[in-house]
Chain A
Amino acid sequence: MPNASSTLAAPERAATAATPTDRSRRRKIATVVALIVAAVVVGIFPAAAPNAYILSAGVVILSYACTATSWNFMGGFTGYISLGHAAWFGLGAYGTGILVRDLGLPSFVAWALAGVVVAIITVPIGIAALRVRGASFVIVSIAFVLILLLVFQGWGSFTGGSNGLVVPRPFPDLMRPVHHQVFFYLFAALLAAMLVLWWAINRSRFGIGLKAIREDEDKAEALGIPTRNYKLVAYIISATFTGLAGGMYALWFGDLDPIFQFSILLGSYMVLMALLGGIRHLLGPLVGAIIVGIGLEVFKLQFGDTQFHLVATGLLLALVVLFMPDGIIPALQAGIKRFGPQSSSIREMTAGELAERNRAAGVSGASVFAGRKAEREGVENEDATTPTEEEKR
């Protein structure tokens, strides 16, 4: 018996060992190519943009990409869907604006400090919100953004209320197109920093723990993952980067209104973009942001001031959920795999062999511990086994 199983196992391992390395190498090459293309596009876009409107649309899309990617630190890794991440965007934006206005800090010092403030506020909010899961967490996250909306609207003396808050421009001497160009690169740099961090977490020990929480939180806890602390750290990272994106937006746009900064719609866009691209993938939220961002601009131009652009966006989401429930990137990967070598056939074959091997091992194992007893029961057991084995084939 042992001889038979070891000769069986050896070629299997050799066969399966070749495919994953090929696959991972191919994936690595694809990622590198995608990054180079992205860097080139980002590099030449401001120069190639025909007018200031296209350039500013580019800045908006990059700011979307920043928010969707920062949302994905929480949503993608832990599976906790926050619809209220606009709260962190708004706090970062208002934090930056108020620090510049009241303390006269240099714009980017205020921006970094606002990030720290957001991180600090996240701790108690996270401890409270992460006590619940699933739909309850979604509702808590919405409640928080609505509370902030009321506070920032009502506390006019401090936040400017519904009149809005004007944020002094960091580069007052720059012409508008150049201003857009500078912020295009600033957003791109912020996004790049997030992508590097996401990539590092994804392959880290911490990342594997977060993904285990996404798959089965109780099971992860039982295997020794301190789930509460892991979730909280992911939440702080996610909220802080969302806040930094909000602060950058404040410095770029220069005018804040609670209605837009603390809106459910903004938080929903982050979720939509991340889901659209694929929350399990590094570049998923970026891809989603580009598609949704372009879609929103086009729909706005088409439908003007009406709310039809929201209907069109809703239809886009419906189509993706119907036909690509895991997002665009996984759908494309599956499509490419269909044309490539069919690695799954190897697996099906080995599953059959495994059954063979297990049956052999099972019999010898049983005889070790039960001796005659196994033989006695063997007759009864045979009847029970037959249907399941047939099902397998």
Chain B
Amino acid sequence: MTATAASGATTTVSNLSTRGLTKVFGGVRAVDGADVTFHEGKINALIGPNGSGKTTFFNCVTGMIKPDSGTVTFKDRDITGKAPHAIAHAGIGRSFQLCRIFPRMSVLDNVLVAVRRTGIRSLLAPARTEAEVTKARQLLVRVGIDHLENAEARDLSYGQQKLLELAGVLMGDPDTIMLDEPAGGVNPSLIGRIGSLVQELNAEGTTFLIVEHNMDLVMSLSHHVIVFDRGRPIAEGTPDIVQSDPRVLEAYLGV
């Protein structure tokens, strides 16, 4: 908020925002009236201490959890409480905190799952059409695991599985991608690879929302940083401004 005032010259375009989003688990207000506006076409980062409600917020936006109150707006449409597959079809792709893939399916099939088809006849048509397989292979080349396309996904290393998950998300042609801890449990060289992929895709026009604890990655990658604490944003702005905000230092770094 202070940040927007400081860099007042930039006009913000947003396709995804939340108003008063709230989710209560028992006595815990995991997300507590969160008003968040993501910057379209930018890499947005969501940071905050563990338990600050980032993942719950994430799940409310993508429909995995139904919020108790508040709204989520995407491309001027209210998507609050819609089924996750409907939100995926609307154009939001997501990854999971601990990488989730389909362990006993081939790498190629893992990517093909995200193909969008409707109508009974096309659903009963063979899964592997030439155009879709070609596209899936291109994505596997892009993330660098194309030589493993016939391997079972469970045989891949953890880092390769993260890349596979990203390829699957890309297969759905999302214009907004939400990544939950893309660098978690990944060796530094692969973090660099994932980071540059995010930048490439962002340069092509994809909006990113990234929940991440790796501060170096967040600060080097993102254009806009939102700091969460106790279920709502407490500060936002460019990485430099957020890093020097005293509330952030107190909540997140414990200084």
Contact = CB atoms under 8 A, between A and B. Distances in A.
Interface of A: 9, 12-13, 16, 19-20, 200-201, 203-209, 211-212, 215-216, 218-228, 280, 347, 350-351, 353-354, 357-359, 361-366, 368-370, 373-374, 377, 381, 384-385, 388-389, 392
B123 interface: yes
Contact of A224 (B116, B122, B127): B116
B113 A384 contact: no
Contact of A212 (B113, B148, B195, B196): B113
Interface residues of B, number: 61
A207 B103 CA distance: 16
Contacts, number: 164
Majority DSSP secondary structure for residues of B touching A: helix
23 contacts: A9-B147, A20-B150, A206-B123, A211-B102, A211-B105, A212-B105, A215-B103, A216-B101, A216-B103, A219-B102, A222-B94, A223-B88, A223-B113, A225-B113, A354-B160, A361-B192, A361-B193, A363-B189, A365-B193, A365-B196, A368-B196, A369-B196, A370-B220
The 9 A-B residue pairs with the shortest CB-CB distance, nearest first, are A365-B196, A362-B189, A366-B192, A215-B102, A362-B192, A224-B88, A381-B188, A208-B127, A223-B114
Interface in B61-76: 62, 64
Given A208-B109, A354-B160, A385 B188 contact: yes
A205 B102 contact: no
A358 B104 contact: no
Contacts of A224: 85, 88-89, 114, 116, 172
B124 A204 contact: yes
A357 to B, nearest CB: 6
Interface string B182-199: 000001111111011101
A203 B126 contact: yes
A372 B125 CA distance: 52
A215 B192 contact: no
Contact of A374 (B112, B168, B172, B192): B192
B105 A219 contact: no
Q: Which of B86, B96, B115, B147 has the most C-beta atoms of chain A within 10 angstroms of its own C-beta? A: B147
Contacts of A363: 189, 192
* Dominant secondary structure at the A interface: helix
B188 A204 contact: no
A19 B187 CA distance: 31
A13 B146 CA distance: 8
Interface of B: 62, 64, 83-86, 88-89, 93-94, 96, 100-105, 109, 112-117, 122-128, 144-151, 155, 157, 159-160, 168-169, 171-172, 187-193, 195-197, 199, 216, 220-221
A347 B148 contact: yes
Contacts of B64: 218, 221-222
A306 B169 CA distance: 57
Contacts of A216: 100-103
B100 to A, nearest CB: 4
A366 to B, nearest CB: 4
Contacts of B157: 351, 392
Contacts of A350: 147-148
B97 to A, nearest CB: 12
Given A205-B122, A222-B96, A359-B189, 4 more contacts: A19-B150, A207-B127, A218-B84, A219-B100
Given A212-B102, A222-B96, A223-B168, A205 B192 contact: no
A200 B125 CA distance: 8
A297 to B, nearest CB: 34
B96 A354 contact: no
A218 B114 CA distance: 13
Contacts of B115: 205
B116 A369 contact: no
Contact of A219 (B101, B151, B221): B101
